[in-house]
Amino acid sequence: MARKAGSVGEETAERVRLAALKLFAGKGYAAVSMREIAAGVGLQAGALYNHFPTKQAILADLMVAHMEALIAAWEVESRKFATPVAALEGFVRFHIRYHLSRGDEVFISYMELRNLEPENFVRIEGLRKYYEGFLRKILQAGAASGSFSIADVPVAAMALIAMLTGLNTWFRAGGRLSVDEVEEIYVKMALGSVMPGGIMQGSSDGAARGLTAAGS
Amino acid sequence: MARKAGSVGEETAERVRLAALKLFAGKGYAAVSMREIAAGVGLQAGALYNHFPTKQAILADLMVAHMEALIAAWEVESRKFATPVAALEGFVRFHIRYHLSRGDEVFISYMELRNLEPENFVRIEGLRKYYEGFLRKILQAGAASGSFSIADVPVAAMALIAMLTGLNTWFRAGGRLSVDEVEEIYVKMALGSVMPGGIMQGSSDGAARGLTAAGS
DNA sequence: GTCTATACTCGGATAGAC
DNA sequence: GTCTATCCGAGTATAGAC
């Protein structure tokens, strides 16, 4: 936030962000000192204050940037999908890929909320709610059209988001399964959890299948 | 761990655990001082060291106690269920109720792992894996019998656990929905995510429905 | 078992020279 | 913009009196 494009100091500020991101994600915000961050950039601690007024401002900057980028990315991606079913599948795939590729940002955005002053906390929480609203709208549309069988849209949205984001806590690249494989599994589980027709075997071939409602 | 039953000091130690639990859950382990914990018990900081050798020992004690109690509770509860489908429904209900009733313990056990020294970390992680194993066994049995359609049992187990535990991050008693209502929704979603028959409308009346496999 | 007092280290943040 | 030096508060943990 508030970056002066083209200025020399902005390059240093960006390196500060990167070093702080790694350290916060690895040890936790409270356990990281300004001296450590400075060392990661090759500076003395005092020099950090030319770029950020406080330690918490660095954290808030990282979180806001992450949430805004996430929202912007989905706003582009979401244009591809015409039906609620396609949109849900697209959301699952997008959320998984985006979050797995930004592990550090996701980690601090979910773990360090309580280290924010109220003003920053409210702002980040608002952005998060806004992002969750995308999924709620998809589920609402599908429930209205009969594609989904959902007892409570806000609850279903939170359940799905938690399931998807949970991937970040255990998935490691180079393990038994690839991202693509895990993504397919999650798509099936997510769709199965809200669709009256249940799990569709071999449903991973495209995003634009039309599904008519099938009551219980 | 290592409690001397009946001793006078154990009462104080228990009060220390309680105060530390509340503080760790509220502000984060790293942000809580021994002075704060002592004040919560009505002691001076130095007196804490009569009961715990270090600050981290308090954290590890709380985590181990939580995980062992959780495992013991499920080992009792699990005897009630005869089929994989009933066991999965029972697990979902148990996990939700147990975790929502121990919000503080759950919170620190998931958030403060990185503040543990390797020895303690390995121990807690082992207990967590052991608990997750309960769900894996249920899913494996159901997949073998044809009740479930699961592409990968370990992945499905992690996805379900994340969905269930995620409840703790947003559910608040006294809100729009009761625990019972949310529990029903999660049961349907969890079963729907792994059952080829999909969501069963009105499936919340009991835990022992027999379900025969129904392929796609 | 608890107290007071304190050793020792480290934290965030600032001032002023260059 | 970065450096060195420093302020000042707070951290964990210990020592010894009671």
Residue B1 domain-assigned? no
Closest chain A C-alpha to B180 CA, distance in angstroms:
13
**pLDDT tens-digit profile of B115-171?**
999 999 999 999 999 999 999 999 999 999 999 999 999 999 999 999 999 999 999
Closest chain A C-alpha to B187 CA, distance in angstroms:
10
Same domain, B24 and B107: no
Closest chain B C-alpha to A166 CA, distance in angstroms:
5
Residue A68 domain-assigned? yes
A50/D1 CA-to-C1' distance in Å: 7
Residue A120 phi, psi (nearest 5): -65, -40
Tell me the C-alpha distance between B21 and B65, whole Å.
12
Same domain, A141 and A158: yes
Residue A175 domain-assigned? yes
B117, B155, B165, best to mutate vs chain A, most A CBs in 10 Å: B155
Length of chain A measured in residues: 216
Tell me the C-alpha distance between B150 and B164, whole Å.
18
Q: Residue B5, by phi and psi: left (phi above 0), alpha (psi -120 to 50) or beta?
A: beta
- Residue A10 confidence (pLDDT): 84
Q: By 3-state DSSP, what share of chain A in percent is helix, strand and coil, each rounded to 5?
A: 70, 0, 30
Domains in chain B, number: 2
Same domain, A93 and A190: yes
- Residue B41 confidence (pLDDT): 96
Tell me the C-alpha distance between A89 and A195, whole Å.
12
A25/D4 CA-to-C1' distance in Å: 30
Q: Is the CB of B8 under 7 A from strand C?
A: yes
Same domain, B62 and B23: no
CB pairs under 8 A between A and B: 132
Same domain, B101 and B149: yes
Chain B residues with beta carbon closer than 8 angstroms to that of A188 = 151, 193
Ranges of residues in chain B whose predicted pLDDT is under 70: 1-9, 198-216
Per-position pLDDT tens, chain A of length 216: 444 444 566 899 999 999 999 999 999 999 999 999 999 999 999 999 999 999 999 999 999 999 999 999 999 999 999 999 999 999 999 999 999 999 999 999 999 999 999 999 999 999 999 999 999 999 999 999 999 999 999 999 999 999 999 999 999 999 999 999 999 999 999 999 999 876 664 444 444 443 333 333
**Which of A188, A198, A200 has the CB atom closest to B151's CB atom?**
A188
Residue B201 domain-assigned? no
Residue A91 domain-assigned? yes
What is the residue whose two structure tokens read 């403060």?
Answer: B112
Tell me the C-alpha distance between B188 and B201, whole Å.
8
Tell me the C-alpha distance between A205 and B152, whole Å.
18
Domain containing A21 — which CATH number? 1.10.10.60
Same domain, A23 and A104: no
Which residue range is the domain that position A178 belongs to? 55-210
Tell me the C-alpha distance between A109 and A128, whole Å.
9
- Residue B7 confidence (pLDDT): 53
Same domain, A2 and A105: no
Residue B215 domain-assigned? no
Same domain, A113 and A203: yes
| CA–C1' nearest nucleotide, residue B9 | C1
- Residue A3 confidence (pLDDT): 45
Structure letter (DSSP) for residue A205:
S
| Tokens found for residue B79 | 């005897």
| Tokens found for residue B202 | 């009105």
Q: Which of residues 4-63 of A touch strand D (CB under 7 A)?
A: 7-9, 12, 38, 42-47, 50-51
Same domain, B32 and B129: no
Same domain, A28 and A69: no
Same domain, B25 and B109: no
A56/C15 CA-to-C1' distance in Å: 22
Residue B216 domain-assigned? no
Q: Determine, for residues A199 and B194 on separate chains, whether the beta-carbon distance falls below 8 Å.
A: yes
Is the Cβ–Cβ distance between B165 and A181 less than 8 Å?
no
Q: Determine, for residues B198 and A194 on separate chains, whether the beta-carbon distance falls below 8 Å.
A: no
Q: What is the largest CA-CA distance in chain B?
A: 66
Same domain, B64 and B110: yes
Chain B residues with beta carbon closer than 8 angstroms to that of A200 = 216
Closest chain B C-alpha to A3 CA, distance in angstroms:
30
Amino acid at A49: Y
Domain containing A116 — which CATH number? 1.10.357.10
Residue A151 domain-assigned? yes
What is the reported pTM?
0.91
Nucleotides on chain D within 7 angstroms of protein Cβ = 1-6, 10-16
